Each structure stands twice: as structure tokens, then as C-alpha cells.
């Protein structure tokens, strides 16, 4: 799919995103944005120098199936002799092969996507970067340069695209060195086939995700599983044998990767005894390793005993060397995997024993060892909208349609309202009649304000008989109390106490004093409770429908003060000594009920 550059006109990029949203399932199907190993149905192709292993894996059933072989293909060639793509016949063969995989139920239920993992073990080359970039630690930026312009990154103008694809391999853990990374190359013979796989998926609007990885890097990242007894792999020389070459990798005192390079077999399927002894000895001397541990693994072809025989010459001169020789086809994780291939096993069962793993190798496992050699560059990836972008664009389209509907509805409602008013009697009024009605309306509004003002002033705020009723409710019905004085008053708040410029609050006050006999004195003490007085006033207000007495709203407050002391009532003409001597407790009670200027019963004094 041809995509615009990220620096293109924003409007064109928006139109491109709309086209992708409309014509593809990228917003609905998350498989477009997954790796090949994350999809339910996977087709694994292991490409060696002398054989090809094809297998299909159903992750839901954890089951392997024999896969189809890639047909022989031919290419269209441009005027410069470069391959530009598959010819029509080869393209039809590849399309038919994919159609059969996607349409059959032989590998489980009919798939909605397909992940194709290509494990490249037929060629592997390592080269140093140009001196200007060799010590650079911005690995991501350097990797982008190596992908897009390998001639600049390697400092070699003779580099050709047809030679292979390059990726960066950082020497993780290395410090204070002039070489912090190297360039790794694999063959690109199948890149046009992988491109055709992707284009078929885009044509069918079905995710076909293709990842091509270097098999030696996959094996390097799996070392902690293969030899957990080596711990963090300090001072270790690893030999990874493939069909036509052996990769040697050496780690330092902290498990850091110091060296990696391929050694191509001159004859046979492995290095000779002298070659193995020579390369281990020279590598140990180069890296100042006095007694390196040796890990010799066969990843294609040979067995563990054959490897031990090949290592025998070195062991004769280093009898105390710590070593392990093994064929990965005999370890538990590769059992049941087609061809006993480690790369296929690790791609479908990627768990590693992290508690004993080298942190450096774990980082290779999580990132650098799984690089896609046939994948797009970082800049090309940025050109494709993410799933989140497309979903946001989708929902914004819904929002846009909803907004248009709301606008049309508002326009329709406004139009209907306009025509309704045009057909009303008011619309037909003469200007003079309309002015007269407007004047009458102003007059009525003024009268309403005056009415509201006087209605507020005449609202009941205090009634004498209810004030007396409150006094009666305060004391017991069976007597025992003689009032010396009883005062009640209702008054507006003073100007200094106003909380509203246009309104005045109201304060009602009861002041009582008198005597009580000892039996009633214990009951009078309850009159000092604000809660008791509030309950009493609310009860009177409810019985007599006198809301102005009610207490409880924020705009109304209640203060209660009670003083009692031992003091006999003096005798008088009305109460001789034989009566007065029974009233030995005096009391004074004051009740203030206030209504502030925010209350609905406040006086409206606005003019």
C-alpha cells in the first residue's frame, strides 16, 4: 500500500486515513497491528542452506501441522537487471497457496488472519560500522540509518541492495569501547515473496503479517534456556552450528556480548577439529580469557557426540575446560516441533528462566534478537495510521453526523417556530396596537411588583395569641410555677445587622422570670435545651399553620438562655408566706428566634 510521507499536507494525510478506514478492516481487527507470533494461526518457514522446513502452528490448540512448500518462483526484471517483483505466473502460485491455507479447516477453524514467520538460517554475515558510527550509543537511530542507507552506515559505496538486508546488533553491556555495535546481514532472496504475501492480505482485507528473523540471533537470545547452568554467561564462548556456517559469540566478565561473527564451513557440514581448536584459542587470547567456558550447540544436522569429537583437539590441551555440547533437536522444548528446530520452538514458546538469565541476553530476546529483516523502516511504520487513530477517526465521523443531525433538527425547530409565530394573532397586530399592549404589559408588571411588595409586608410574622400559646406550652399543666414577669417582642433587625440591602430580618424574643417548687424545678432545666425549644416551636407552628415560628432552616436561628438558683419567693398579699415558702427555686429564661434577610419572610424594603 502506497502511503504519503509524514511531512505531506495534513489534509492529504487526513483523506488517506479516511480512505484506509473505509476500505480496510484495520480499525476493527487488532491483528493488523500484531506480530506474526501473536496470531492464532502461524506459518513458519525455516530456510537453511540445504533444506527448507515448512510447518503450520495453531496456538489455540497448541498443535503443529506439516506446512506447504514455497513454489519455485521467477521475477520481473527491470532494465538494470534488478528484480522488481514476482511475474504473473509466480504471483498466481503464491496467491493460490495462501488461499488454500486460509480456506481450509485442516488447521482448525477458518482463520481471520495469518502470521508468517520466516527464520533465515541459510546465510549470516557480520560487519563493523563506519568509524563515525561505531561508538554511537543511539542504537535506534543508528538502526534506522542502517536500514535506509547502509552505504553511509557502513562507509562503503559499493554496498548493493541485492546483497541482502542489514540490521543493527548492539554489543549490550560493553563499556568504554570504540565499538558499541555491529551490522548483521541476511539474504533477501525471499523478500519479494514476503512482499507478495502482504499484498495478498491487503487485497483480501485480511491481516497477513510477515516477519523475517535471523536464526542465529534467535538462538543467541535462547541461550539461557539451553544452558541454564552457565548462569549469566560470563567469560563464555558459544559456537552455534548451522548447515553451512558456525556462529561464534563471546561474552565478557559481566555477561556482555563482546564478539559475534560467522565461520563458513570449507568442507563438510561442520568446522574441522583444528579449526574449532584454533578459533577458540585465538578468540580467548583476543579477549584475554584464560579459561573460557565453551558452549557448542548444533542447530541443524549434527548430534552432541559429533560436536564433542570436533571439540576433542581443543580439550586435549585444555583438559580442565568447562564445556557443554548438545544438539537442540534433543532438548525438551523442541520435542514435537517439526525438524526439532529451536527457532520454531522459541517462537511459539518464548518463556525463558529469567531468574538465571543474563540480563544482556534477555534484552536480545525482548528486542534486538527478534528484529524483522523484511519489515518496513521506522519512518515507513509512522506513515500508517495506528488502530487508535483510525478508531478515533471513526468515532469522530459518528460525532460529525450527530452534529449535522442536531443542526438540521435545530434549524427545523427554528423554522417551525418562526412559521408558527407568523401565523399567530400577535404577528398580525398593527404597530399601534402592539405598542399599546406593550405599555399595558409594563404597567401590569409594575403593579405586580407593588403587589408583591405589600404582600410581603403584610405577611404574618408574629401573632400575640401564639406568643401566649408558646408560654403555656413551656411549663407543665399541673402548675408548680409562678411567673414574676413575662415579656414578648418582635422587631426587625437594625441596619448594621442587615445581610441584604433590600431586606430586613425579624427577631422574636421571649423573656420570662419566676419561681418553681422543687418538683417542677427538675423539669424546668430542660428549657435550657435549644433542641427542646426548637421542637416545641416546630410543633406549635405545625398545629397552627404558623410557618414563621418554625425553626430548622439555614436562614433561621434560635438562641436559648436559662439561669436557675436557690431562692425562696418573697411573700406578698397574693402569695402569703404559707404559699410562698413552697417555691424555693428562681429562674430566668430568654428565647431569641431570628430570621435573617435571606429568609422568605424577611421584610422587603426595596423601593
| Cα Dmax for the chain | 145
Q: Is the predicted pLDDT of residue 524 greater than 50, yes or no?
A: yes
Q: Is the predicted pLDDT of residue 603 greater than 80, yes or no?
A: no
CA distances from 83 to 76, 161, 188, 367, 414 (A): 6, 11, 11, 31, 66
Q: Is the predicted pLDDT of residue 359 greater than 70, yes or no?
A: no
Percentage above 90 pLDDT, the chain: 34
CB atoms within 10 A of CB 108: 16
Confidence bin at 15 (pLDDT 50/70/90)? confident
Grid cell locating 163? 546483497
pLDDT at 131: 92
Confidence bin at 355 (pLDDT 50/70/90)? very low
Which has the closest alpha carbon to 279: 262, 267, 297? 262
Confidence bin at 552 (pLDDT 50/70/90)? confident
Q: Is the predicted pLDDT of residue 457 greater than 70, yes or no?
A: no
Task: List, in order, residues 6 or more apart from 7 with CB less than 8 Å away.
Answer: none
Q: In angstroms, how far is CA 236 from the centroid of its own chain?
A: 41
What are the tens digits of pLDDT across the range 280-316? 999 999 999 988 999 999 998 677 788 899 999 999 9
What are the tens digits of pLDDT across the range 60-93? 899 999 999 988 888 888 777 787 888 899 999 9
Q: Is the predicted pLDDT of residue 538 greater than 50, yes or no?
A: yes
Residue-averaged pLDDT of the chain: 85
User: Do 513 and 586 meet the contact criterion of CB atoms below 8 Å apart?
Assistant: yes
Confidence bin at 498 (pLDDT 50/70/90)? very low
Which has the closest alpha carbon to 298: 320, 321, 328? 328
- Give the range with max mean pLDDT: 115-129, 426-440, 467-481, 586-600: 115-129
Confidence bin at 500 (pLDDT 50/70/90)? low
Amino acid at each position: 500500500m502506497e502511503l504519503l510521507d509524514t511531512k505531506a499536507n495534513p489534509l492529504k494525510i487526513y483523506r488517506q486515513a479516511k480512505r484506509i478506514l473505509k476500505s480496510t478492516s484495520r480499525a476493527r481487527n487488532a491483528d493488523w497491528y500484531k506480530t506474526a507470533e501473536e496470531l492464532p494461526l502461524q506459518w513458519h518457514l525455516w530456510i537453511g542452506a540445504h533444506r527448507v522446513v515448512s510447518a503450520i502452528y495453531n496456538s489455540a490448540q497448541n498443535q503443529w501441522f506439516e506446512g506447504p512448500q514455497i513454489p519455485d518462483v521467477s521475477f520481473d526484471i527491470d532494465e538494470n537487471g534488478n528484480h522488481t517483483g514476482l511475474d504473473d505466473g509466480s504471483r498466481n502460485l503464491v496467491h493460490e497457496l495462501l488461499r488454500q491455507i486460509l480456506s481450509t479447516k485442516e488447521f482448525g477453524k477458518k482463520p481471520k488472519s495469518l502470521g508468517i514467520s520466516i527464520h533465515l538460517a541459510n546465510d549470516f554475515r557480520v560487519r563493523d560500522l563506519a568509524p563515525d558510527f561505531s561508538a554511537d550509543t543511539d542504537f535506534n537511530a543508528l538502526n534506522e540509518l542502517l536500514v535506509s542507507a547502509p552505504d553511509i552506515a557502513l562507509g562503503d559505496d559499493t554496498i548493493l541492495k541485492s546483497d541482502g538486508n542489514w540490521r543493527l546488533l548492539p554489543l549490550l553491556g560493553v563499556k568504554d569501547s570504540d565499538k558499541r555495535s555491529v551490522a548483521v546481514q541476511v539474504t533477501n532472496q525471499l523478500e519479494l515473496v514476503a512482499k507478495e504475501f502482504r499484498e495478498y492480505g491487503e487485497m483480501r482485507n485480511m491481516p497477513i503479517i510477515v516477519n523475517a528473523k535471523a536464526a542465529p540471533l534467535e538462538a543467541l537470545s535462547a541461550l539461557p534456556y539451553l544452558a541454564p547452568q552457565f548462569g549469566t554467561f560470563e567469560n563464555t564462548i558459544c559456537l552455534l552450528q548451522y548447515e553451512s556456517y558456525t556462529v561464534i559469540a563471546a561474552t565478557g566478565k559481566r555477561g556482555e556480548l563482546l564478539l559475534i561473527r560467522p565461520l563458513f564451513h570449507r568442507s563438510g557440514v561442520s568446522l574441522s577439529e583444528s579449526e574449532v581448536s584454533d578459533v577458540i584459542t585465538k578468540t580467548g587470547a583476543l579477549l584475554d580469557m584464560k579459561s573460557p567456558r565453551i558452549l557448542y550447540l548444533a542447530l541443524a544436522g549434527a548430534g552432541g557426540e559429533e560436536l564433542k569429537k570436533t571439540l576433542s583437539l581443543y580439550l586435549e590441551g585444555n583438559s580442565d575446560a568447562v564445556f557443554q555440547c548438545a544438539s537442540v533437536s534433543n532438548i525438551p522444548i523442541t520435542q514435537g516441533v517439526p525438524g526439532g528446530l529451536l527457532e520454531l520452538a522459541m517462537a511459539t514458546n518464548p518463556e525463558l528462566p529469567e531468574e538465571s538469565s543474563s540480563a544482556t541476553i534477555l534484552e536480545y530476546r525482548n528486542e534486538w534478537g527478534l528484529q524483522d529483516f523484511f519489515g518496513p523502516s521506522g519512518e515507513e511504520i509512522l506513515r500508517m495510521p495506528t488502530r487508535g487513530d483510525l478508531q478515533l477517526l471513526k468515532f469522530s465521523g459518528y460525532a460529525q453526523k450527530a452534529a449535522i443531525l442536531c443542526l438540521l433538527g435545530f434549524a427545523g425547530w427554528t423554522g417551525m417556530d418562526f412559521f408558527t409565530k407568523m401565523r399567530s394573532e400577535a404577528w398580525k397586530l398593527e404597530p399601534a396596537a402592539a405598542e399599546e399592549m406593550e405599555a399595558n404589559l409594563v404597567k401590569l408588571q409594575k403593579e405586580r411588583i407593588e403587589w408583591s411588595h405589600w404582600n410581603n409586608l403584610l405577611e404574618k410574622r408574629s401573632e400575640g395569641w401564639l406568643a401566649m400559646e408558646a408560654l403555656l406550652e413551656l411549663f407543665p399543666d399541673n402548675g408548680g410555677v409562678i411567673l414574676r414577669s413575662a415579656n414578648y417582642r418582635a422587631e426587625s433587625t437594625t441596619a448594621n445587622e442587615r445581610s441584604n440591602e433590600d431586606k430586613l430580618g425579624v427577631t422574636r424574643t421571649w423573656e420570662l422570670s419566676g419561681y418553681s417548687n422543687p418538683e417542677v424545678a427538675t423539669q424546668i432545666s430542660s428549657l435550657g435545651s435549644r433542641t427542646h425549644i426548637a421542637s416545641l416551636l416546630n410543633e406549635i407552628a405545625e398545629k397552627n399553620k404558623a410557618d414563621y415560628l418554625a425553626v430548622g432552616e439555614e436562614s433561621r436561628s434560635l438562641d436559648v438562655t436559662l439561669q436557675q438558683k436557690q431562692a425562696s419567693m418573697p411573700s406578698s398579699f397574693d402569695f402569703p408566706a404559707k404559699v410562698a415558702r413552697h417555691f424555693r427555686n428562681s429562674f430566668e429564661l430568654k428565647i431569641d428566634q431570628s430570621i435573617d434577610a435571606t429568609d422568605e419572610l424577611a421584610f422587603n424594603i426595596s423601593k
